[in-house]
């Protein structure tokens, strides 16, 4: 049989099923009929071409009706279920669709609507739901935060002793019924009650020390109602996602799992109950608790990020229970190594028993791209190395069939050939890069002198006033700018026209900053659509998809580049523009780069070498750029590490190792510059108290950092006595909001900073880049920022 080649399938919603043409005659009946033991934890909801995104945004803009939106959603759900069913998947999830977020769906199920949305009871409709997600004219949205260590953001439940719970969204049951009506019996998925509470925060006005787990007794009755309805509708399986089990939990938190499932046991009787965990190794203690929960019949594990979990399973697995083995990676885009997975699975048959082993994905497929069929930009060779969600479904099924003795030899052979081609491809390996990166391991890279000596040398050259002002890099991206970039990319305008349009924009941005009297200027980044893509496109070893979107939050999706090979920098990437910008002003112009850790964390990364190795390679490429910028006369170079914090592993035991190579990578980029070259870095989060020593160890000359959104949490670390000798610019206003801060407000902020930071190290700047704002907001905000700074400078001078 011909191996399934994604491009052979014109319709994205019906991928290959890889069924043998005739049922093998000699196999036992039970394995010929019915589906093999295969399971998918969850599936992307956006649709192969982001259909849900466009439907949502059009509904929010009032351009389409609720019925239009519901129609798109129903069609997407049905095509996803059919696709999995046709691929041969036995345990197909339902209730993994969402209009916005699965945690918010759970909040709706429990009726835990914060008071400010004035919800009066009954079934929660779209309007209350979207108000919680996005805010409305009078009330702000609920807080959003990262889902574990992924780039997906969930809506944080706000709970307290007076939260009233009621069964207020029947979505899980109606989706189950909807699939059933299509002839597909699904496994309804709920966020488990303990993870739900552990992901919540105390509502406004509730003591920070309030025990969220004390609400278990209030939410379990609703879970019981949902379970009863699912049973009545005919469900025979249920899946509870309890991913917090992979975190470092204390005894009290672990005990909550035991008591929650003991309490649910009778309600769950008659159902097969799967507890699904993912994203990391599960700690041994938690594994013990998990595998002894009452009423539970099946356990799901991430065997990609949880390699050590495999040892736990091998050393003891409860008899008679199902093992859902997550061998197909839900967080990456690489084709599975089917032979390796099959051998892992075969070894697990001895542990769980032949009839209790189920092939699964490591986590929900919502963290990978949707369907390779829609990739028109990638060449066939690279495509043969990849599997997006639709292809992973096929892989899971192929593994389950192989395990049941129906191995599709042609499919496996094609997979082995693709893997071999990836391994030996000259596009992947660059010996020189490999050698240079290997030489970095175990060594240290630091600038020759300490930061205070460097700051003195820089000040002699730059001659900046106290409290120097600057911005983070980007200026507003106008429709016109986007058009210019698009047309240049599509070759509709010539290079000359493009360069002159960008030049004009840079000169406009320079002039504005000079008029505002900002001290250290930026060129505004008009030539960049995205801070990672811009560099990835110029580095070798990167590929870009046309539709490889992954949901980030709500209707927002990102399209991470794919790092497939050794990374090198054939040509300078930013020198042309930075030099041009510097030539337009006598003030220092910042060179603007994205750092290696951020490029790594915002890409799909190779799985054939450790992450740190890829990061070191990117660091070496950026190092070359830094040195070229310096040689071109750029005296201040900013290397953004916006995503350094979010790469922090989930388990504390792994933090030190990550921080060590991440910080080392950053230092590699700039260890070779002269004392007089000032290195800046920027970070987009403020909650860095726990990693402050690593941030100091980055040894940048100046760090600009988000600060204003989080009640100046950042400053508390300095209040607690941490010594910071380098320059620091905690953002003085929130760029995420269109609000224009007043001079007084900014001056007040600066004074607060001066109370904990030395005058000679403080910089004044906004929280982040200005890309998403309008000029009508940016100009007055920056005007006020500069006047506040001048006000304080005068006060400081007269106090002397």
User: Which residues are annotated as part of the binding site for L-homocysteine?
Assistant: 472-474, 640
Per rule CB under 5 A, count of chain residues that contact Zn ion: 3
Q: At what angle do helices 66-87 and 51-60 cross, to 10 degrees?
A: 170
- In the bound state with ligand GLN, the residue whose beta carbon lies nearer, of 569 and 682, is 682
- In the bound state with ligand GLN, the residue whose beta carbon lies nearer, of 640 and 675, is 640
Please tell me the distance from the alpha carbon of residue 458 to that of residue 144, in angstroms, as a whole number: 40
Per rule CB under 6 A, count of chain residues that contact ligand GLN: 13
Beta strands in 84-126 (DSSP E): 92-94
Q: Does 592 interact with Zn ion (rule: CB under 5 A)? A: no
Residues whose CB is less than 8 angstroms from the CB of residue 272 and which lie 6 or more positions away in sequence, other chains included = 236, 237, 238, 297, 298, 322
State the nearest-atom distance from the C-beta of 773 to ligand GLN, in Å.
11
**Where in 521-540 is the site for ligand GLN (CB under 6 A)?**
525, 531
Segment contacting Zn ion by CB under 5 A, of 460-468, 663-671, 715-723, 764-772: 764-772
Q: Binding pattern to ligand GLN, positions 268-307, x when CB under 6 A?
A: ----------------------------------------
Q: What single string gives the DSSP state of each residue in 640-665?
A: E-TTTGGG--SSGGGHHHHHHHHHHH
Residues whose CB is less than 8 angstroms from the CB of residue 363 and which lie 6 or more positions away in sequence, other chains included = 41, 42, 243, 278, 279, 302, 326, 330, 331
Whether 23 and 32 have beta carbons less than 8 Å apart is answered as yes
List C-alpha distances in Å: 491 to 81, 265, 495, 497.
41, 64, 8, 11
**Where in 777-796 is the site for Zn ion (CB under 5 A)?**
none
**Active-site annotation holds for 736:** yes
Residues whose CB is less than 8 angstroms from the CB of residue 561 and which lie 6 or more positions away in sequence, other chains included = 532, 533, 536, 542, 543, 544, 603, 604
Number of C-alpha atoms within 13 angstroms, CB side, residue 629?
32
- In the bound state with ligand GLN, the residue whose beta carbon lies nearer, of 159 and 510, is 510
* Contact of residue 281 among ligand GLN, Zn ion, none (CB under 5-8 Å per partner type): none
Tell how far CA 96 is from the center of its chain.
18
State the nearest-atom distance from the C-beta of 561 to ligand GLN, in Å.
16
Q: Binding pattern to Zn ion, positions 662-701, x when CB under 5 A?
A: ----------------------x-----------------
Q: Does 643 interact with Zn ion (rule: CB under 5 A)? A: no
Segment contacting ligand GLN by CB under 6 A, of 48-56, 91-99, 315-323, 472-480: 472-480
- Indicate which residue of 22, 153, 170, 736 is catalytic: 736
Whether 632 and 579 have beta carbons less than 8 Å apart is answered as yes
- Pairing of β 702-705 and β 678-683: parallel
Maximum C-alpha span of the chain:
96
Residue stretches of the annotated binding site for Zn(2+): 682, 684, 693, 697, 706, 768
Q: Which of 39, 454, 569, 771 binds ligand GLN (CB under 6 A)?
A: 771
* Contact of residue 473 among ligand GLN, Zn ion, none (CB under 5-8 Å per partner type): ligand GLN
State the nearest-atom distance from the C-beta of 702 to ligand GLN, in Å.
14
Q: Which of 18, 163, 341, 474 binds ligand GLN (CB under 6 A)?
A: 474
State the nearest-atom distance from the C-beta of 712 to Zn ion, in Å.
17
Q: Does 684 interact with ligand GLN (rule: CB under 6 A)? A: yes
Segment contacting Zn ion by CB under 5 A, of 96-104, 192-200, 596-604, 635-643: 635-643
Alpha helices in 519-634 (DSSP H): 533-536, 575-583, 596-601, 611-631
**Where in 578-617 is the site for ligand GLN (CB under 6 A)?**
592
Question: Which residue has 């959603």 as its token pair?
Answer: 73
Please tell me the distance from the alpha carbon of residue 31 to that of residue 406, in angstroms, as a whole number: 9
| H or E element, residue 221 | helix 216-232
Residue stretches of the annotated binding site: 53, 151, 472-474, 525, 556-557, 602, 640, 682, 684, 693, 697, 706, 768
State the nearest-atom distance from the C-beta of 265 to Zn ion, in Å.
48
Using alpha carbons, select from 574, 489, 530 the residue that is nearest to residue 772: 530
Q: Does 769 interact with ligand GLN (rule: CB under 6 A)? A: yes
Q: Which of 454, 682, 749, 773 binds ligand GLN (CB under 6 A)?
A: 682
Structure tokens at 379: 């060449």
Using alpha carbons, select from 215, 110, 104 the residue that is nearest to residue 157: 104
Please tell me the distance from the alpha carbon of residue 714 to that of residue 728, in angstroms, as a whole number: 11
- In the bound state with ligand GLN, the residue whose beta carbon lies nearer, of 488 and 685, is 685
| H or E element, residue 31 | helix 29-32
State the nearest-atom distance from the C-beta of 516 to ligand GLN, in Å.
16
Segment contacting ligand GLN by CB under 6 A, of 161-169, 249-257, 469-477, 744-752: 469-477
Whether 412 and 339 have beta carbons less than 8 Å apart is answered as yes
List C-alpha distances in Å: 516 to 252, 463, 521.
56, 18, 11
* Main-chain dihedrals φ then ψ at residue 786, nearest 5 degrees: -70, -40
Segment contacting ligand GLN by CB under 6 A, of 18-26, 168-176, 289-297, 470-478: 470-478
- In the bound state with ligand GLN, the residue whose beta carbon lies nearer, of 531 and 634, is 531
Q: Which of 768, 770, 782, 792 binds Zn ion (CB under 5 A)?
A: 768
Please tell me the distance from the alpha carbon of residue 283 to that of residue 272, in angstroms, as a whole number: 24
Using alpha carbons, select from 672, 562, 662, 682 the residue that is nearest to residue 616: 662
* Contact of residue 526 among ligand GLN, Zn ion, none (CB under 5-8 Å per partner type): none
- In the bound state with Zn ion, the residue whose beta carbon lies nearer, of 235 and 643, is 643
Q: Which residues are catalytic?
A: 736
* Residues forming the site for Zn ion (CB under 5 A): 642, 684, 768
* Residues forming the site for ligand GLN (CB under 6 A): 472-474, 525, 531, 592, 640, 642, 682, 684, 768-769, 771
């Amino acid at each position: 049989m011909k191996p399934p080649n994604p491009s052979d399938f014109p319709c994205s919603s019906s991928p290959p099923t890889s069924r043998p043409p005739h049922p093998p005659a000699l196999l036992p009946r039970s394995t010929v009929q019915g589906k093999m033991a295969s399971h998918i934890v969850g599936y992307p909801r956006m649709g192969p071409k982001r259909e849900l995104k466009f439907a949502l945004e059009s509904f929010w803009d009032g351009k389409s009706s609720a019925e239009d939106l519901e129609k798109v959603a129903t069609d997407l759900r049905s095509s996803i279920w059919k696709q999995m069913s046709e691929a041969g998947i036995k345990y197909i999830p339902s209730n993994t669709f969402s209009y916005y977020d699965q945690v918010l769906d759970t909040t709706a199920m429990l009726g835990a609507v914060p008071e400010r949305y004035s919800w009066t009871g009954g079934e929660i409709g779209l309007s209350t739901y979207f108000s919680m997600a996005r805010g409305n004219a009078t009330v702000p949205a609920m807080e959003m935060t990262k889902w574990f260590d992924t780039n997906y953001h969930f809506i944080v439940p706000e709970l307290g002793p007076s939260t009233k719970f009621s069964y207020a969204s029947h979505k899980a049951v109606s989706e189950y019924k909807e699939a059933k009506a299509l002839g597909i019996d699904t496994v309804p998925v709920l966020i488990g009650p303990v993870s739900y509470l552990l992901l919540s925060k105390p509502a406004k006005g509730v003591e920070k020390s309030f025990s969220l787990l004390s609400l278990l007794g209030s939410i379990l009755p609703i879970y019981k109602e949902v379970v009863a309805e699912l049973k009545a509708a005919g469900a025979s399986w249920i899946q509870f996602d309890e991913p917090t089990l992979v975190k470092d939990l204390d005894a009290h938190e672990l005990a909550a799992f035991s008591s929650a499932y003991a309490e649910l046991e009778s309600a769950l009787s008659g159902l097969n109950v799967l507890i699904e965990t993912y994203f990391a190794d599960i700690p041994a203690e938690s594994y013990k608790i998990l595998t002894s929960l009452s009423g539970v019949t099946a356990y799901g594990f991430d065997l990609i990020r949880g390699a050590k979990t495999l040892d736990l399973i091998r050393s003891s697995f409860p008899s008679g229970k199902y093992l859902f083995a997550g061998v197909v990676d839900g967080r990456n885009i690489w084709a599975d190594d089917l032979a390796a997975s099959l051998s892992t699975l075969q070894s697990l048959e001895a542990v769980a028993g032949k009839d209790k082993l189920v092939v699964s994905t490591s986590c929900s497929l919502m963290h990978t791209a949707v369907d390779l069929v829609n990739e028109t930009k990638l060449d066939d060779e690279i495509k043969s190395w990849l599997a997006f969600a639709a292809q992973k479904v096929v892989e899971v099924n192929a593994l389950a069939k192989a395990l049941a003795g129906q191995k599709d030899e042609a499919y496996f052979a094609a997979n082995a050939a693709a893997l071999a081609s990836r391994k030996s491809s000259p596009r992947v390996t660059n010996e020189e890069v490999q050698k240079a990166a290997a030489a970095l391991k175990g060594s240290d890279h630091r600038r020759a002198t300490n930061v205070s000596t460097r700051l003195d040398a820089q000040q002699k050259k730059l001659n900046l006033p106290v409290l120097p002002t600057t911005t983070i890099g980007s200026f507003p991206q106008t429709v016109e700018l986007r058009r210019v970039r698009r047309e240049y990319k599509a070759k509709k305008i010539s290079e000359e026209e493009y360069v002159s349009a960008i030049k004009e924009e840079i000169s406009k941005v320079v002039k504005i900053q000079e008029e505002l009297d900002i001290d250290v200027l930026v060129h505004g980044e008009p030539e960049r659509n995205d801070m990672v893509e811009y560099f990835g496109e110029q580095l070798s070893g990167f590929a870009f998809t046309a539709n490889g979107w992954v949901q980030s939050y709500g209707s927002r999706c990102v399209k991470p580049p794919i790092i497939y090979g050794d990374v090198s920098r054939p040509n300078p990437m930013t020198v042309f523009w930075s030099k041009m910008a510097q030539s337009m002003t006598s003030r220092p112009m910042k060179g603007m780069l994205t750092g290696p850790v951020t490029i790594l964390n915002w890409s799909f990364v190779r799985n054939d070498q450790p992450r740190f190795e890829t990061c070191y390679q990117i660091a070496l490429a950026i190092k070359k750029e830094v040195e070229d910028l310096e040689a071109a006369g750029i005296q201040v170079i900013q290397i953004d590490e916006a995503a350094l914090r979010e790469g922090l592993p989930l388990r504390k035991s792994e933090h030190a190792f990550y921080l060590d190579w991440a910080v080392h990578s950053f230092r590699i980029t700039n260890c070779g510059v002269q004392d007089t070259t000032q290195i800046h870095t920027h970070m987009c989060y403020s909650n860095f108290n726990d990693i402050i020593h690593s941030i100091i160890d980055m040894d940048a000359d100046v760090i600009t950092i988000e600060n204003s959104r989080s009640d100046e949490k950042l400053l508390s670390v300095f209040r607690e006595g941490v010594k910071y000798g380098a320059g620091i610019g905690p953002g003085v206003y929130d760029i995420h909001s269109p609000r224009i801060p007043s001079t007084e407000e900014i001056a007040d902020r600066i004074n607060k900073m001066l109370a904990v930071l030395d005058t000679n190290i403080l910089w004044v700047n906004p929280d982040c880049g200005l890309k998403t704002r309008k000029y009508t907001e940016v100009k007055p905000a920056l005007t006020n920022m500069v006047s506040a700074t001048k006000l304080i400078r005068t006060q400081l001078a007269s106090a002397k």
